[in-house]
């Protein structure tokens, strides 16, 4: 009986997915909805790229600030010893 239930569930999910794809591709309202979603995704991608750029700039400023602080304190030559490769 479990195989029958699994087959029925798969068939229903496939029918629902087909109906959604058909709606999005072949109806006027579906095309409009698809275009709105595409625009929203493009805007989100643009905002994420802007956020990434901002974070990269902030990291650069932080690195520069630490460097200037170390130079001001005269600790430029006091770097932490590096561990050699274990292999």
81 DSSP 8-state letter: P
Question: Nearest CA to 33 among 18, 23, 47?
Answer: 23
pLDDT of 44: 97
> Could you read off the pLDDT of 10-34 as tens digits, one per residue?
999 999 999 999 999 999 999 999 9
pTM of the model: 0.52
As a whole number of angstroms, the distance between CA 43 and CA 37 comes to 10
Please state the domain extents for the chain: 2-72
């Amino acid at each position: 009986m479990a195989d029958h239930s699994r087959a029925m569930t798969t068939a229903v999910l496939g029918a629902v997915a087909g109906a959604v794809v058909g709606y999005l591709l072949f109806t006027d309202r579906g095309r409009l909805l698809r275009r709105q979603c595409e625009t929203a995704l493009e805007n989100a991608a643009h905002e994420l790229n802007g956020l990434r750029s901002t974070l990269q700039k902030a990291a650069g400023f932080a690195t520069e600030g630490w460097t200037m602080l170390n130079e001001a304190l005269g600790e430029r030559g006091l770097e932490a010893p590096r561990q050699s490769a274990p292999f």
